[in-house]
Structure 1
Amino acid sequence: MGDSRPVYQRIADDLRQQIDEGVLAVGARIPSRSELKRTYAASDQTVDRAVRVLKAAGYAEGQFGRGVFVTDRSPIGSLLRTGGEAVDSPFAARINGGESVTALLWEATSTTTGAPPRIAERLGVTVGERVMCTHYEYLTDRRPLQLATSWEPLALTEGTEVVSPERGPYARRGVRERFAAIGVRVAGATELVGSRPATSAEAEVLGCSPGQCVTVIERTHHTADGRAVETSDIVVRADRWRLEYRITF
């Protein structure tokens, strides 16, 4: 039986196999359009579509004026999702080799806004209710590692010393410590893990192609009675980070 795959898919699969097997090493140039057309007896459109599939999967990236090159897809490390550090901070990670991230820098911007529908649902507030929204960008060795966006109901924090996560005496202290300072005990957090294509803005920061798969962790901190006090979206490249959970019995 002949190969029933569309030609563009066959080209993309063949190139992926060559990359996975090391025939095309990291940094190697993908065969040019004319070379691929000749090899597969394909049209410009078919070859271009195959290369787009390869880029979207994170196997290759274009360099203006030079061509398309194989990208490094080896995991940077693991995101630790178990224990107090993971629960209290958007960033808890281990770089490959077993070392924790130490030289970590991050930038944050906070603004007051109305809760969009999906955030209102997660926080248990009405749509449009005022929340503090904080955007984070985490870097180490000048590499962007992770993006995160956090939302906190201003009904809980407005007028207190913890209204801004990145300012005041409790800046950068973590959700539990900040809320404890205003008499709110955070008892735990719930996480939902999913994936989706990267937006253009996320791709630019994370160093991948728009549409490439990213892992998204929706995390919500709550009190013992289930009241949500903070929710956040944590975004990382799916091809560079693994999630690490430790289960004890």
Structure 2
Amino acid sequence: MSEYTQITVDDRDEIRVITLNRPDKLNAWTPTMNAELIDAFQDGNADPAIGAFVVTGAGRGFCAGADVSEVFKAQIEGDDAADDTASGSDSTTDDTPRRRVDWVSLMRSSKPVVAAINGASIGVGLTLVLSMDFLVAHPAAKLSARFVKMGVVPELASSHFLVQRCGWGNASDLALSGRTVLGDEALALGLVDEVADDVVEGAIRRAKSYAENAPASVQFAKQLLTENGTEPDLALVQRRELTALDQAYQTPEHHEAVAAFMERRAPKFR
């Protein structure tokens, strides 16, 4: 695992807790933070001991948006090192070639990811989490897709995920007004999935409920949800499911689950 400067990583048994760690800046997003997040996820996805992720923020905020001085100002001045958040890409500021990594594809192909939104989740601080699997927010957390207030537009496929999560009217209201909602209203809108006073512990409990299942089946389920969530062709939906089912039947996890059931014991998937 790499040494990080803007995030911390804490493996709690099978759950990797990733904390955005710029508390003096309310964990404002930077290209460096993005590169470190990508590395931490790729490392965890390659580690069979890790079953799921939790992402939270240090201090009072979750992520208060992009660091204006490091991102927007640099972009206006034509500094290529300030990668655009829309690409969700990793970048470097030396002579090393950039590695382009699609953040949304990473989240949808990753082991399960639960966000623990402990405070302000603004702009990219919100769109970073919309493609994750489950969102837990503090009642006092402030969430906003406030791109129109900065003269820009939603990114990281948030114009898709806002509609999927909140429906057309609520998604339109959030995107066109840029207004801020607190955790309880976010739950009512469908923007988050749970509200808890201790968001990290709530997120870890949820993540453990995913990590205890057969890893291959969890990945197949995520893939099917991603591909079929807005697919109108139900015949295609079922073909995809049958293909995944045929693959699942061949996995060691399926054989272990059947054996455990017959032997009246808990299965051992990891």
TM-score of the pair, normalised by structure 1: 0.20
Per residue, is there more strand in 1 or in 2? 1
More helix by share: 2
Structure exhibiting the larger radius of gyration computed from Cα positions: 1
TM-score w.r.t. structure 2 length? Answer: 0.19
